[in-house]
């Protein structure tokens, strides 16, 4: 593992606490930490059900005997005092408890107040914008690093764009397009978060407007993240459909914070589909689900079809994969890069979250605080960790 333990908060009881450890992705993250956390890491499992935490610890101990003494911390996402104690006890707090807009507010507030580094898996724009408005200033004062979207949302896009920009000339206007492809299933928790976000359109727009009032403007640089039009992409040989997820917003915020993205940066984000009929069918299905999400009974019915805590089995996850290809241009140079790996929603997401938490705990990082992206908070350090963990970042072609 790279880097040394930071001295800030070293007197705390734990280096890393995993909150929501008994959920589907939470348990996979716990398994990854059990196998890969450096010897001597002081880490703990946290959740609201002690019996489930005990069963998870027993399962971990079967493979890793040292986990038999892993501390268990009982905490509820709605108990403000309880969460303050939890945040004050650790240097880094990783949480998988979503939908974050419903269950994440008090925890991130506790971390901002305690100066505790925080990582999550949210893909919810409303939550991210609310956290910025309500907690960024305090986190800057206390030194807390609030890093959202540390899973498939939005590490491949954010670090992939960062990796691509590094292959291009400095000090010139740059454009990057990202094309997301893959095959995998989702868990009940992911579905609940997505449907909750889709059903909160007015709240999401209001949170974005409030954020724009608080964010400083870039006086000498320009960063854009327009929604591209559907088109056939010759560089990738696929149909490109606009993908208005959290990813392009995260990439744009990294670009706004880092001068390396140039004086004028533009990023567009697409789903990459090989066959037009499949592209049209997928777009229609997404539209239908989005429409149903606006009706509370229908939204709840969809959530109940796949209750949180469930997900694809190990065999199906082993067959899953993802690839995000990037086309970057600027200063007379054009590069084609790719970020790829295995099961995007679960195995690789657990890996990304765990490595993000370990990176914050152990690596020498820029002296920054407040709400940050993965590229801004961890950059090269996290990129190196993920490469060593088996996620591939490569330059496919350049000219």
Query: Mapped to the 3 state alphabet, what secondary structure does 204-272 carry?
Result: HHHHHHHHHHHCCCCCCCEEECCCCCCEEECCCCEEEEECCCCHHHHHHHHHHHCHHHCCEEEEEEEEE
Is residue 49 domain-shared with residue 18, that is, in the same domain?
yes
Model confidence at 189, pLDDT cuts 50, 70, 90, reads low
Q: Are 76 and 104 in contact (CB under 8 A)?
A: no
Could you tell me what percentage of the chain is helix, strand and coil, using 3-state DSSP and rounding each to the nearest 5? 45, 20, 30
Q: What is the CA radius of gyration of the chain?
A: 20
| Residue 285 or 56, more confident | 56
- For residue 2, being part of any structural domain is answered with no
User: How far apart are the C-alpha atoms of 59 and 51, rounded to whole Å?
Assistant: 13
One domain, residues 266 and 329: yes
Q: Can you tell me which residue has the tokens 């691509």?
A: 164
| 124 and 228 assigned to the same domain | no
Question: At 54, phi and psi to the nearest 5?
Answer: -65, -40
The domain that holds 47 is classified in CATH as: 3.40.50.720
Mean of all residue pLDDT scores within the chain = 87
Split at pLDDT 50, 70, 90, the class of 8 is very low
> Which residue, 324, 305, 320, 327, is CA-closest to 164?
327
Q: 117-168: per-residue pLDDT in tens? A: 999 999 999 999 999 999 999 999 999 999 999 999 899 999 999 999 999 9
Counted domains in the chain: 2
- Asked, for residue 6, whether it belongs to a domain, the answer is no
Other CB atoms closer than 10 Å to residue 233's CB: what's the count?
16
Q: Of 84-98, 165-179, 308-322, 336-350, which range is least confident?
A: 308-322
Among 2, 67, 1, CA closest to 31: 67
Do 191 and 131 fall into the same domain? no
Evaluated on CA atoms 155, 157, 160, 162, the torsion sign reads: negative
Give exposure, 286-314, as e/b (b: 16+ Cβ within 10 Å). Answer: eeebeebbeeeeebeebbeebebeebbee
Q: Are residues 37 and 179 in the same domain?
A: no
Residues in contact with 359: Cβ distance below 8 Å, sequence separation at least 6, in sequence order: 3, 365, 378, 381, 382, 385
| Cα dihedral: 230, 177, 316, 302 (round 10) | -50
In which domain, by residue range, is 147 found? 14-151+348-385
Residue 91 near residue 14 (C-beta atoms within 8 A): yes
């Amino acid at each position: 593992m790279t880097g040394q333990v930071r001295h800030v908060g070293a007197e705390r009881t734990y280096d890393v606490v995993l909150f929501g450890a008994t959920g589907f992705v939470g348990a996979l993250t716990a398994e990854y930490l059990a196998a890969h956390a450096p010897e001597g890491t002081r880490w703990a499992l946290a959740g609201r059900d002690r019996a489930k935490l005990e069963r998870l610890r027993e399962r971990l101990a079967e493979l890793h005997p040292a986990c038999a003494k892993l501390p268990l911390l009982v905490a509820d996402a709605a108990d403000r005092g309880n969460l303050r104690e939890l945040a004050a006890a650790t240097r880094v707090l990783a949480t998988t408890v979503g939908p974050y807009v419903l269950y994440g507010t008090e925890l991130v507030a506790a971390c901002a107040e305690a100066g505790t580094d925080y990582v999550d898996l949210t893909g919810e724009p409303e939550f991210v914008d609310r956290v910025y408005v309500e907690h960024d200033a305090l986190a800057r004062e206390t030194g807390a690093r609030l890093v959202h979207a540390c899973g498939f949302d939005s590490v491949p896009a954010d670090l992939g764009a960062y990796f691509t920009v590094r292959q291009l000339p400095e000090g010139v206007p740059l454009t990057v397009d990202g094309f997301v492809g893959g095959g995998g299933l989702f868990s009940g928790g992911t579905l609940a978060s997505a449907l909750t976000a889709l059903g909160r359109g007015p709240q999401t727009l209001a949170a974005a407007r409030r954020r724009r009032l608080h964010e400083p403007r870039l006086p000498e640089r320009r960063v854009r993240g327009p929604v591209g039009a559907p088109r056939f992409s010759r560089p990738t040989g696929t149909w490109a459909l606009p993908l208005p997820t959290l990813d392009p917003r995260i990439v744009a915020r990294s670009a706004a914070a880092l001068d390396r993205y140039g004086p004028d940066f533009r990023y567009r984000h697409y789903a990459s589909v090989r066959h037009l009929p499949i592209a049209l069918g997928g777009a229609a299905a997404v539209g239908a689900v989005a429409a149903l999400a606006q009706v509370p009974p229908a939204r709840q019915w969809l959530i109940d079809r796949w209750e949180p805590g469930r997900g694809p089995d190990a065999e199906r996850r082993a067959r899953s994969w993802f690839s995000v290809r990037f086309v970057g241009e600027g200063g007379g140079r054009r590069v084609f890069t790719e970020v790829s790996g295995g099961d995007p929603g679960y195995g690789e997401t657990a890996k990304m979250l765990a490595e993000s938490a370990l990176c914050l705990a152990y690596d020498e990082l820029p002296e920054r605080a407040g709400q940050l992206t993965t590229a801004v908070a961890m950059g090269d350090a996290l990129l190196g960790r993920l490469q060593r963990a088996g996620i591939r970042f490569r330059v496919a072609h350049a000219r």
